[in-house]
Structure 1
Amino acid sequence: MSDTHSNTAAYVRDTMIPQKAPPTGQVGAVRWLTENLFSGPVNTILTLLGVAAVYFLFVHLGPWFQNSIWNANSLAECREILDGASGACWGVIKDRWHQLLFGFYPQYTDPAIISALTGVDLATAKGWGDASVEAEKGFGVVFRYWRPSLTFILMVAALVPVLFDAIPRKALWFSAAFPFLAFWLLWGGSIWFPVFAMMGFAVGYIAFIALQRISSLAATVGAVLAPVIWWFFLAEPIGDAVASAIPISLVPIQSHDFGGFMISIIIGVTGIALSLPIGILLALGRQSDMPLVKWICVGFIEFIRGVPLITLLFTASLLLNYFLPPGTNFDIVLRVIIMVTLFAAAYMAEVIRGGFAALPRGQYEAADALGLDYWKSQRLILLPQVLKISIPGIVNTFIGLFKDTTLVVFIGILDPIGLSSAIRADSNWNGIFMELYAFIALCFFIFCFGMSRYSQYLEGKLKTDHH
């Protein structure tokens, strides 16, 4: 090799090679299809079966949805319009949607309040129907069912501070007061009954602060006994005296008028809100070193988990009155809420216990090394991690609880499923079922899918192990 050539040859490239376009199968939609739908023989077969199933549903259900009838007052009228063609008769939803949502809850309650809001004097109107038509021009369903509609709006406002930490913490005071306000709006009666019931918790807090100087045991006992004494002996006479001096009330509504999705939301949301703290306490009790507390919690959890929910609902409906003093009027909805809450709490306790089992032992040792007592170590170190680990199981239990509210139909409470049977018993809609069940399924899907999406959002927000 000549010296000239050896001096001009470079061993390291001093210019970059121009970037080449990637292969067609490695970019865009082709790559996505290859990786997700046709990555192997099994995946390819499943993809083709899925496409065939979607095509089958589209061919058979497409015309049914395409020929939908909304403006019909009976199934016979729908069939007359369709003239032998296949089509959905959504007229039943348009005709009975208020019944599916609110059951037999009275419309246009509290005429004085309605007159103040709308200017329509229902007392002097020519007819109730004329007044309602005139008032509905500006208010619609919110006017007709203003109490449950307002309760639902306030429920959303009360849940926002609980679910999202971006909201100011002071808003939690409204969340704490909402259950009492919702009870008054839905059931009516004197406003002082829920007010003085809510004051029982304030009495318990005051007793806890006052007795804390003596001992923590005395403070705990006082915090439990003080509200009980207030509710059973003082709240009613004081409330009656205040109600006679300052009468503020709504028209009372009986529980047998409740129904539809309103009763499902009442039972579901109340059960969800109460079952989580009770489940946490049961999980802590099951791990307690005190034998009596542990045996009670274990016995309760295993008994409840070994009995079907429908059995507990029948117990609440039929047998519970035998264990109460004669003449006691224990509201059926309240009985169902108690049983559903206890049932969900037992399953929640096992979910929380699984979270404790998944927690590394070093976290317990770290809490002991910091010199924290039992409750501080649970509140500051252990429970936050356990709840984060248990989010999927907790939300799964919530979704199951909300769907299980349909079982109340077996004890005479007309939830959406029960109302669908009542609607089909009408001669105008006798024989229709697909449209009713499709509407009910869609409503349940919206609620359950919303809970699932929020759990995924919460998992991503609390995820701390990513890099």
Structure 2
Amino acid sequence: MSHSSIAWFRDTLLPQAEPPAGQTGVIHWLRARLFNGWWSSLLTVVALLALFALVNAVLPWLANSVWQADSLGECRRVLNGESGACWGVIRERWPQLLFGFYPQALYWRPLAAFVLLFVALGPILFKRVPRGVMWFSAGYPGLAFWLVWGGSLWAPVLAYAGLALAVLSFSLARRFGIGIALICALGVASTWWLHGMHVLLAVVDHQAPLQLVAVSSRELGGFLLSFVVGVSGIAMSLPLGILLALGRRSSMPLIRLMSVTFIEFVRGVPLITLLFTASLLLNYFLPPGTSFDLILRVIIMVTVFSTAYMAEVIRGGLAALPQGQTEAAQALGLDYWKAQRLVIMPQALKISIPMIVSTFIGLFKDTTLVVFIGLLDPIALSTAIRASTQWQGIYWELFLFIGGVFFVFCFGMSRYSIHLERRLKTDHR
């Protein structure tokens, strides 16, 4: 036999064959995932026993629920000594848990603001939304404020006019330098909001009144309050955190020192301390005769607290980028702000998505801390409900309902984060 007739490699494919019987099916999955060794088998057995005990304790309690009851005593009479959940408290008090003491005839207003929020977030969260909706997104905060608190429609309109004046003054003063332009913009906006806006508001409101029934802040409560504080803090902390992160990495010593001082100070102070500051001390730093609404003060402090943490999250994303990205942007002739907007920041934000959403979730849950300064969040309302003669002694049903609602919102943010990561392919695989 000649060497040329010997086949050194296969020139035809093997026919497709079924995998071995021991490598497929439920039995293989159980062995690979749950009983892969004695330690894994022990943990599986312990977990199954704990799960069985939990289900055995909770399922009969949930299955024997009472919905039609006007008091805890009536629930107990219906249960006749058996264990069961008394969901009558939720059926009777769910409007209070959701809206606080907001007037019942005006529930449509916060509901409309909630629905319109998703319209405003459309261009930000999804790709196939007309970019013209961005104009609505920009005007949504003022519209939501008007819907929730009522009063004159001209108040948010004139507040936006202050922003327009700030942008105009910044553009006119930019030739003298960015620092001077920022000072001019802040001065013009502050003067307008503190003085000029109120004078013009009285005139315009008298000539063309456009008003809704005013609702005071003390009537806001429940999940409406948590949602207002949480969404406001989330919406403002992200852009401010980006600016603060850039300030901390700035080559200008004064900007860097101010950014580092702000971040380290705020991160070193508990949120509850800032909330007490908002409740008791913030008015002392304002001009005489100026009074900020308590909820507005809380929003400011929550935003300040979240901004410091968000700045560190963004800084971590910026630090993860190779220096070559900055050098490539400079080689293209881009200035600092264009390089950040077009090259650096989009990549840093993609890397930081998990921690950004985690910070948002933590912020939304931390809104329950406002109970310590007298605001009626869901926890405070549950305490008030349990103190009433009708529902004195009820616990689990209220806390399960509150926890379930928080879980729905937080789980929704988490799932959108996963969707966004997959869409942007942040893992580069």
Match of 2:375 among 413, 418, 427: 413
1: CA distance, partners of 2:82 / 2:427: 57
Long gaps (5+) in structure 1: 2-8, 110-144
Give 1:378 deviation, angstroms.
1.0
CA distance in 2, matches of 1:269, 1:14: 64
For 2:270, the equivalent position in structure 1 comes to 308
Larger Rg: 1
Candidates 349, 359, 384, aligned match of 2:311? 349
Distance 1:155 1:12, change over 3 A: closer
Cα distance, 1:259 vs structure 2: 0.3
User: For 1:46, which of 43, 52, 61 is the aligned residue?
Assistant: 43
Give the TM-score taking structure 1 as reference length: 0.86
Give 1:313-328 correspondences, 5 Å limit.
Answer: 313-328=275-290
Query: CA separation in 2, counterparts of 1:296 and 1:282?
Result: 9
| Partner residue, 1:284 | 246
| Residue 101 of structure 1, aligned match among 98, 101, 108 | 98
Match of 2:77? 80
Q: Which moved more, 1:435-444 or 1:208-217?
A: 208-217
**Aligned counterparts of 1:276 and 1:73: Cα–Cα separation in 2:** 45
* CA apart distance, 1:220: 4.1
Tell me, yes or no, if structure 1 residue 69 matches structure 2 residue 66: yes
User: What is the correspondence of 1:101-140 to structure 2 with a 5 Å cutoff?
Assistant: 101-109=98-106
The Cα shift of 1:251 comes to 1.2
- For 1:40 and 1:337, the matched residues in 2 are separated by 53
Identify which of 411, 423, 427 aligns with 2:389. 427
Q: How does 1:250-399 map to 2 (within 5 A)?
A: 250-399=212-361
Counterpart-to-counterpart distance in 1, 2:284 and 2:239: 29
Letter in 2 for 1:184: W
Q: Which moved more, 1:234-243 or 1:427-436?
A: 234-243
Q: Distance in 2 between matches of 1:361 and 1:10?
A: 53
Could you say if the C-alpha distance between residues 180 and 17 of structure 1 is closer, same or farther in structure 2, counting changes exceeding 3 Å?
A: closer
Work out whether residues 350 and 426 of structure 2, in 8 Å CA contact, stay in contact via their aligned partners in 1: no
Q: Which residue of 2 aligns with 1:168?
A: 130
State the Cα deviation string for residues 397-426 of structure 1 (Å, max 9, x = none). Answer: 101100000000000001000000000011
Which whole-Å deviations, capped at 9, do the CAs of 1:332-362 have from their partners, x for residues lacking one? 0000000000001001111111111211121
Which AA in structure 1 matches 2:129? Answer: I
Query: Which residue in 2 is equivalent to 1:442?
Result: 404
Deviations 1:313-345 (A, max 9, x none): 011111222333444321000000000000010
Task: List gaps (5 residues or longer) in structure 2.
Answer: none
Alpha-carbon contact 1:24-1:30 (below 8 Å) kept: no
Kindly state the Cα deviation for residue 465 of structure 1 after the two structures are TM-superposed.
5.7
Instruction: From 198, 204, 210, give the equivalent of 1:236.
Output: 198
Change (3 A) 1:193 1:354: same
- Post-superposition shift, 1:45? 2.4
Amino acid at match of 1:85: E
Aligned to 1:127: none
Residue 21 of structure 2 aligns with which residue? 24
* Superposed displacement of residue 34, structure 1: 3.0
Aligned letter for 1:93?
I
What are the Cα deviations for residues 356-379 of structure 1, in whole angstroms up to 9, with x where unaligned?
121112112212222221111111
For 2:252 and 2:17, the matched residues in 1 are separated by 71
The equivalent of 2:364 in structure 1 is 402
- Go from structure 1 to structure 2 and tell me whether the alpha carbon gap of 1:63 and 1:242 turns closer, same or farther (over 3 Å shift): same
Distance, in Å, in 2 between the alignment partners of 1:358 and 1:16 is 45
* C-alpha deviation, 1:211, in angstroms: 4.3
- TM-score, structure 2 normalization: 0.93
**Equivalent-residue separation in structure 2 for 1:27 and 1:186 (angstroms):** 58
Q: Deviations over 1:151-174 (max 9, x none)?
A: 111112212222112111111111
Is residue 151 of structure 1 aligned with residue 113 of structure 2? yes
Q: Which has the higher mean CA deviation after the structures are superposed, 21-30 or 166-175?
A: 21-30
CA shift in 2, pair 1:248/1:10, >3 Å: closer
In the alignment, the residues of structure 1 paired with residue 331 and residue 289 of structure 2 have an alpha-carbon distance, to the nearest angstrom, of 56
Instruction: Tell me how far apart the structure 1 counterparts of residues 250 and 96 of structure 2 sit (CA, whole Å).
Output: 48
Per the alignment, residue 37 of structure 1 pairs with 34
1:459 matched residue in structure 2: 421
Native 8 Å contact 2:351 2:426 kept in 1: no
CA separation in 2, counterparts of 1:392 and 1:362? Answer: 24
